[in-house]
């Protein structure tokens, strides 16, 4: 088993470098890149969901270290990040204020 690490940022393109016959597993904070082809001749009914994504590109959703673990029958791509939940502090920039809210409840009759 081998492992490589690379620093990536959200929106970077990650090229899949493994053998095409090798199975790929996507871990946390990694998603398939949307397809860049613009084929407008086919109707939406004819397009498969698989055509909406590039098979050889991945996109990280958070900043961190890209880990590629190469095992016997599969390559595992995941982002290891050290992010935590946001905790507000004094003098933070405020971009909006919530003025009110309400619950949506349903009662059975």
CATH number for the domain harbouring residue 13: 2.40.50.100
- Asked if the structure places residue 43 within a domain, the reply is yes
Residue 44: which pLDDT band, with cuts at 50, 70 and 90? very low
Which helix (H) or strand (E) segment holds residue 5: the answer is: strand 2-8
What is residue 51's three-state secondary structure?
Answer: helix
Which helix (H) or strand (E) segment holds residue 78: the answer is: strand 74-80
User: 30 is in which domain, residue-wise?
Assistant: 2-80
- Asked if the structure places residue 109 within a domain, the reply is no
Instruction: Answer with the residue of higher pLDDT: 19 or 57.
Output: 57
Strands 74-80 and 23-26: parallel
* pTM of the predicted model as reported, rounded to 2 decimal places: 0.58
- Asked if the structure places residue 67 within a domain, the reply is yes
- Asked if the structure places residue 97 within a domain, the reply is no
- Asked if the structure places residue 90 within a domain, the reply is no
Residue 50 scores a pLDDT above 80: no
Q: How many domains does the chain have?
A: 1
- Asked if the structure places residue 36 within a domain, the reply is yes
Cα–Cα dist 58/49, whole Å: 16
- Asked if the structure places residue 46 within a domain, the reply is yes
Q: Do residues 30 and 67 make contact, with C-beta atoms less than 8 angstroms apart?
A: no
- Asked if the structure places residue 88 within a domain, the reply is no
pLDDT confidence of residue 47:
47
């Amino acid at each position: 088993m081998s492992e490589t690490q690379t620093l990536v940022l959200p929106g970077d393109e990650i090229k899949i470098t493994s053998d095409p016959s090798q199975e790929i597993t996507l871990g946390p904070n990694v998603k398939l890149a949307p397809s860049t082809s613009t084929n407008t001749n086919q109707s939406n009914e004819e397009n498969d969901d698989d055509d909406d994504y590039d098979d050889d590109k991945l996109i990280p959703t958070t900043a961190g270290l890209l880990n590629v673990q190469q095992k016997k029958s599969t390559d595992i791509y995941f982002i290891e990040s050290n992010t935590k939940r946001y905790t507000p502090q004094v003098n933070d920039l405020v971009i909006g204020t919530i003025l009110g809210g309400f619950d949506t409840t349903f009662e059975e009759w």
